[in-house]
Amino acid sequence: MKIPRISSEDFLTLGDLTREDIFRLFECSAALKKDVKKGKFEKVLENKTLAMIFEKNSTRTRVSFETGMLQLGGHALFLSSNDIQLGRGETIADTARVLSRYNDGIMIRTFGHDKVVALADYADIPVVNGLTDTYHPCQALADYFTIFEREKDIAKVKVTYIGDGNNVANSLLIGAAILGTDITIACPRKFEPEMAVMEKAYKLAANSYSKIVITNDVDKAVEGADYIYTDVWVSMGQEKDAAKKKKPFLNYQVNMDLLRKTGKDTKVLHCLPAHRGEEITDEVMDGRHSIVFDQAENRLHCQKAVLCALMGR
């Protein structure tokens, strides 16, 4: 297997990667996916270990990283912050230094993005962001791969994200801006992606010619959309805001009426877990437009490509 060459030693945001890096990861993901289907597993990371720190719940991220490491010949350690000393106040810096003496890579899911940055600063081994309050790059990589698999030219596609301007929206925005994909983000007023992320995306888009639109108008946003994407209205750690979000988000549901407004045979993405009946209806989730489970599967293949790129060199 050809190890993909990428320009970064860590994977903290999609902004760590160039367009070429992303395409090299896509190429590797496609090859790894083919191999899995044939039951062929190359032990590229034999005897290597990935420490996985979780400060929030997870199904897909945990299971796909753990399975991926095993398939590559290595091993993943699940470290819930409730169990390790980080949860009792050991510093991120000391945790990074210690894990660097045992392991070959660290994956972390946490709250503040600054914690992941600090971990990467103090670790001597690659660090992968498995979700922070600001970014979810592993998700967006798999999302664009899911689109890439279906399209001749990912730069000729329009993605419309409906809902909360959260970590997933931020990563999709940065990804689109690198890849040249057109992206429209429709959020209720005051729930748009944060300004610093938007500014970064506009800068990147100046090189890739990605058209970025941030709007509050859902109907306009979905016009001509090839892909509609949504995510929960209340992200992990923001449960206290749930009640005040219900009303402003009511018009931001992905349902069949909204899908009919695209004027296209639009496909629907969701990073999952879904709150069925809130941001997406059962009819859409389970209907012919939905590609959410192909998308979830691709987390495995794309993260294996990332692990090979970072830990296989």
Enumerate the active-site residues. 109, 136, 139, 231, 271, 299
Give whole-number Cα distances, 260 to 214, 217, 271, 299, in Å.
Answer: 21, 16, 22, 29
> According to CB under 6 A, which residues from 122 to 141 bind ligand NVA?
131
Among 49, 167, 253, 295, which residue sits at the site for ligand NVA (rule: CB under 6 A)? 167
Amino acid at 298: N
Distance CA 299, CA 139 (A): 7
Nearer to ligand NVA, 253 or 262 (CB): 253
Residue 232 lies near ligand NVA (rule: CB under 6 A): yes
* Exposure of 191 in the CB half-sphere (CA atoms within 13 A): 28
Among 7, 59, 82, 85, which residue sits at the site for ligand CP (rule: CB under 6 A)? 59
Amino acid at 36: V
Residue 60 lies near ligand CP (rule: CB under 6 A): yes
Nearer to ligand CP, 170 or 262 (CB): 170
Burial of 19 (0-12, 13-18, 19+ CB in 10 A): middle
Distance CA 230, CA 252 (A): 9
Question: Between the CA atoms of 284, 286, 289 and 291, what dihedral angle is there, to the nearest 10 degrees?
Answer: 120
Contact letters for ligand NVA, residues 257-276 (x by CB under 6 A): --------------x-----
Residue 134 lies near ligand CP (rule: CB under 6 A): no
Q: How far is the CB of 110 from ligand CP (least distance, A)?
A: 13
Binding site partner of 270, from ligand NVA, ligand CP, none, Cβ cut-off 5-8 A by kind: none
Nearer to ligand NVA, 154 or 232 (CB): 232
What are the residues whose beta carbons fall under 8 Å from the beta carbon of 181, sequence distance 6 or more?
144, 147, 154, 155, 157, 158, 159, 175, 210
Tokens of 304: 């294996």
Total residues contacting ligand NVA by CB under 6 A comes to 9
Residue 80 lies near ligand CP (rule: CB under 6 A): no
Binding site partner of 167, from ligand NVA, ligand CP, none, Cβ cut-off 5-8 A by kind: ligand NVA
Nearer to ligand CP, 24 or 136 (CB): 136
Q: Write the DSSP string, 83-128.
A: TSGGGGT--HHHHHHHHHHH-SEEEEE-S-HHHHHHHHHH-SS-EE
Contact letters for ligand NVA, residues 88-127 (x by CB under 6 A): ----------------------------------------
Interface positions with ligand CP (CB under 6 A): 58-61, 131, 139, 271-273
